[in-house]
Amino acid sequence: MAASASIIPSNATATAKFRATSTAATTPLSPPSVLKFPSISPNYPSTKPLISHSALPHFQHKPLSAVTPPNASSTPPPTATASTFHGVCYVVGDNLDTDQIIPAEYLTLVPSNPEEYKKLGSYALIGLPSSYQTRFVEPGQFKSNYSIVIGGDNFGCGSSREHAPVALGAAGVAAVVAESYARIFFRNSVATGEIYPLESEGRLCEECRTGDVVTIEVADNKLINHTTGKENKLKPIGDAGPVIEAGGIFAYARKTGMIPA
Partner 1 sequence: MASSTITSPPTPLINKKDAGLSAFSSQASFSVQKSQKRVCKKIVSVMAPQQSERRPATTGSVKTGMTMTEKIFAKASEKSQLSPGENVWVNVDVLMTHDVCGPPAIGIFKREFGENAKVWDREKLVIIPDHYIFTADERANRNVGILRDFCNEQNIKYFYDIKDLGNFKANPDYKGVCHVALAQEGHCRPGEVLLGTDSHTCTAGAFGQFATGIGNTDAGFVLGTGKLLLKVPPTLRFVMDGEMPDYLLAKDLILQIIGEISVSGATYKSMEFVGTTVESLTMEERMTLCNMVVEAGGKNGVVPADSTTYKYLEDKTSVPYEPVYSDEQARFLSEYRFDVSKLEPLVAKPHSPDNRALARECKDVKIDRVYIGSCTGGKTEDFMAAAKVFLASGKKVKVPTFLVPATQKVWMDVYALPVPGSGGKTCAQIFEEAGCDTPASPSCGACLGGPRDTYARMNEPQVCVSTTNRNFPGRMGHKEGQIYLASPYTAAASALTGYVTDPREFLQ
Q: What are the residues facing 175 on neighbouring strands?
A: 148, 196
In whole angstroms, how far apart are CA 96 and each of 47, 57, 66? Answer: 36, 25, 35
For partner 1, which residue of 8, 12, 83, 153 counts as binding (CB under 8 A)? Answer: 153
**Burial (CB count <10 Å: 0-12, 13-18, 19+), residue 74:** exposed
Q: Does 139 bind partner 1 (CB under 8 A)?
A: no
CB of 93 to partner 1, least distance (A): 8
β-pair partners for 89:
148
Window contacting partner 1 (CB under 8 A); options: 10-18, 38-46, 79-87, 181-189: 181-189
Q: How far is the CB of 171 from partner 1 (least distance, A)?
A: 17
Sign of the dihedral through C-alpha 242, 149, 229, 58: positive
Q: Which of 108, 115, 139, 140 binds partner 1 (CB under 8 A)?
A: 108
Distance between CA atoms of 179 and 91, rounded to whole angstroms? 12
Using the rule CB under 8 A, is 129 a contact of partner 1?
A: yes
Query: Which residues of the chain form contacts with partner 1 (CB under 8 A)?
Result: 94-95, 97, 99-100, 103-105, 107-113, 127-130, 152-154, 157-163, 180-184, 186-188, 190-192, 197, 199, 201, 235-236, 238-240, 242-243, 248-250, 252-253, 256-259
